[in-house]
Amino acid sequence: MFSKVFIESEIKNHPQTKKILERFSQAPVSEIERIDDVFGRVKKPYLQKRDSLQLFLGKKRGNLVKVAPDAYGLAGEPHYYFIHAYNCIYECEYCYLQGYFHSPDIVLFLNHDEIIHEMKVIAASHPDTKVWFHAGEFSDSLALTHLTGELELYHQFIAETPNAVIELRTKSVNTAELEKLSPHPRLITSFSLSPKERAKKTDLKTPPLETRLKAMNKLEKLGHPMGIHLDPIIHEDSFEETYLQLFQQITQYISPNSIDYLSMGVVRFTSNVFHQVKRNYPQSELLAAEFATSFDGKVRYPRPFRLWLLGKIKDMALSHGFSEKQIYQCME
Amino acid sequence: MHTTPLLIFAHRGEARAFFGHYQLTSLPEASDLYHYQGKSEGDSFYLLLTGEGHFNALSATSAALSFLKASNSELKIEAINLGICGALDEHFQVGQALFIRTLYSEGLHQGMEFKSFNTKTIDNKDSSFPFVDLVSSHHRVLEQDKKQKLSAFAPLVDREAWAIGFTCHKQGVPLTVIKLVSDHAEGEICIPVKEEAELWSDKLLRQYLSLKETPSKAQVIVKTIDSLKEKFPDLHITVAQERSLISLFNALSLKNISNEMALKSFEESGVLELDLRPKDKTKKLIEALSHQLSPLSQKLKSALTEVSEPLSLNGFNVRFDQDYEKAIIHLSTTLQNKSDINKLITGLENFSYENFLSLLNGDIDHV
């Protein structure tokens, strides 16, 4: 999986480092002072993740928890995201990570104790309200948890911090570590879903839709709270049929009542990411669409199309048993 | 317009087979720059010998590109760097030919240059060529330590490619890099290079010839437009229309609609038989292709035309916000007599602002 592993000297004796290295015993290992000595030092094209993906293990320094952008989650409560990894093993054609780090290599930070400490400080600064902490802003929250082993620590944090909520955003089906934990109403796993054929075309290397739904079904049976992100919504000529089919499949595997929220977001890019998409996926069907620069400078479908798409999906959600209260629009 | 290759080598030995295969003439105005005049425009190329290292490569490539552009402003150059390289990874075999994907460079004093350059090869997704990265070093890599350090960034090393990439990037010239592994960067490389020069140069020539045979998608689209002009002499295609057609054919191909399929429905529509100006027939072609590309967009446009009809039929020129991001409508008109005022009032009275707003808010199906 990894062509090379780089480890910071400071964490070379960390128990998790040893476990991860055992797992990738075939990959050559280099010890480095700081991740930044190599990661991001040169501009490494995104698609090199296909055949020369490297792994970096180290400590996150600087801001460990950051304020989330507006309209990131349910309105009315403060939202933050915490950073325990950079980059993702999947390859979604629209992914904003392709314009973000100047490198597609995977970085795993192992100082979860420090990240959790900062989350505790933030939660304490909002004593009268629920505080959301999102994982998965710069990586998939579950995809590598069998290697990184941090879920238990965050589960414990939730149990000890009554006003904190954690959202684990994922496209993976790697729920094994989560299944070992007792369900907690404030540890929510949210799955990003797209119609089957769409995911096959654009969400490269991600598990198929049905496998994701089966994973959700398993978590539902175990009583773990869940969310659904229909994001990004991508238009195609057969959009209505494919999303109708998606809702039928969702309700075949899970009950809308067991879903905490359903968010919808139409595909969008910063101009830099859009440039990267054109460069990395010049043959992508995504690029056949008409895009315009929108109210916030992001590249999106023209407003009538976006609102048409969101309206259609909301109608479908309502007619498949979701309630108005569960649905919100993301980044719109 | 056709592009002319500029083949760039560091050493004459690497280019030996090219000098043997083609009758190259030296250009007296530019040092180490040669020209091959092919039987057709597509066969001609220039060849440059830069000398070894970043600075030689940078200055020679820059001078050659500037000279060629100055001598013929119409000339469209495509650079191809061919040469040998060292492998920092044991997996690569001596004599292996590789197409380079990304060019990195060692920093002048320490560390690495942040900037990297992608070659044109990276955009050629249909290509079956192997993609490999390369780092250019300021000095020959003879020590294990340095080999280790550079191998964190790329598995191949040379002395010139990054500088050539830098110059081509600055001058907007697409670059392809083809390298042959000459050694494993473990010692003095000059002796084997000299011994094997003829063989390696021959391999580079073969790679160059195979590269020439692969047409790009852009070339296929330009060919379609050329054949369109031949097939339908009735159409007059302006430069702006040609640009639209290229972008439409490109977008349609992303939706798996081939150029032939896209044109078939236009041919069957009977537009060619209509009594229209040649330029307007092309306009109809563009509309037909746009409709195939985005039926939803066409639906919105038709609905907006319908909603604004009371205005346009009563003397207003109607314009919507570009990309429809804002729910605004621009109206302009010319008053020539009093009855125009009454017409405009009728137009405004019959115009449904609510329907317009509903459309912009996504209610495309019901208005």
Over the stretch B293-310, which tens digit does the pLDDT of each residue have? 888 888 999 999 999 999
Residues paired with B318 in a beta bridge: B331
Comparing A185-189, A324-328, B279-283, B340-344, which segment has the lowest mean pLDDT? Answer: B279-283
Where do we find the tokens 């030092």? A41
Q: Which residues of A touch B155 (CB under 8 A)?
A: 52
Interface test with B, best of A6, A41, A42 (most B CBs within 10 A): A42
Six-digit token string for A206: 């991600």
**Region at B299 (left for phi over 0; alpha for psi -120 to 50; beta for the rest):** alpha
Query: Is the Cα dihedral A188, A189, A190, A195 positive or negative?
Result: negative
Using DSSP's 3-state secondary structure scheme, residue B191 falls into helix
Instruction: Provide the pLDDT for residue A71.
Output: 67
Query: What is the C-alpha separation between B237 and B226, in angstroms, rounded?
Result: 10
Higher pLDDT, B68 or B234: B68
Question: Mean pLDDT in chain B?
Answer: 86
Query: What is the C-alpha separation between B205 and B214, in angstroms, rounded?
Result: 15
- Closest partner CB to B115 (pick from A43, A295, A305): A43
pTM of the entire structure?
0.79
Is the pLDDT at B89 greater than 90? The verdict is no
Instruction: Provide the pLDDT for residue B188.
Output: 57
Q: Is A299 on the interface with B (CB under 8 A)?
A: no
Query: What is the C-alpha separation between B256 and B258, in angstroms, rounded?
Result: 6
A23 alpha-carbon distance from chain centroid: 24
CATH of the domain at A127: 3.80.30.30
Distances (CA, A) of A137 to A85, A91, A121, B42: 9, 15, 20, 50
Q: Which residues of B touch A44 (CB under 8 A)?
A: 102, 116, 153
Higher pLDDT, B171 or B129: B171
Instruction: Provide the pLDDT for residue B219.
Output: 67
Cβ neighbours around A200 below 10 Å, total: 13
Where do we find the tokens 């049929």? A241
Q: How many residues does chain B have?
A: 367
User: Under CATH, what is the fold of the domain B4-212?
Assistant: Rossmann fold (3.40.50)
Q: Which residues of A touch B123 (CB under 8 A)?
A: 279, 282
For residue B327, which phi and psi values (nearest 5 degrees)?
Answer: -85, 70
Nearest alpha carbon to residue A309 among A283, A330, A293, A287: A330
Is the pLDDT at B73 greater than 90? The verdict is no
Tell me how close the Cα of A285 comes to any Cα of chain B, in angstroms: 5
Partner B, chain A 27-56, Cβ-Cβ below 8 Å: 30, 38, 41-45, 47-48, 51-52
Tell me how close the Cα of B325 comes to any Cα of chain A, in angstroms: 5
Model confidence at B125, pLDDT cuts 50, 70, 90, reads very low
Question: Mean pLDDT in chain A?
Answer: 93
- Residues of chain A with pLDDT below 50 are none
Residues A212, A191: contact at Cβ < 8 Å?
Answer: yes
Instruction: Provide the pLDDT for residue B192.
Output: 58
Q: Which residues of A touch B101 (CB under 8 A)?
A: 45, 48
Query: What is the C-alpha separation between B153 and B136, in angstroms, rounded?
Result: 11
Instruction: Provide the pLDDT for residue B126.
Output: 46
Q: Which residues of B touch A243 (CB under 8 A)?
A: none
Cβ neighbours around B61 below 10 Å, total: 27
What total of structural domains would you count in chain A?
Answer: 1
Give the list of residues 6+ apart from residue B84 with CB closer than 8 angstroms, or none: B14, B158, B179, B180, B181, B182, B193, B200
Q: Would you tell me the crossing angle of helices B295-307 and A303-319 to the nearest 10 degrees?
A: 110
Instruction: Provide the pLDDT for residue B139.
Output: 85
Nearest alpha carbon to residue B10 among B64, B54, B61, B49: B49
- Closest partner CB to B360 (pick from A48, A52, A303): A303
- DSSP-derived letter for residue A294 is -
Partner-chain contact B363 A290, CB within 8 Å: no
Query: What is the C-alpha separation between A84 and B242, in angstroms, rounded?
Result: 50
Interface residue ranges in chain B relative to chain A, Cβ cutoff 8 Å: 101-102, 104, 111-116, 118, 122-123, 125, 131, 133, 148, 152-153, 155, 251-252, 254-256, 293-297, 300, 322-325, 359-365
Pairing of strands B131-136, B97-105: parallel
Q: Which domain holds residue A66?
A: 2-329
In chain B, domain spans: 4-212, 234-293, 299-360
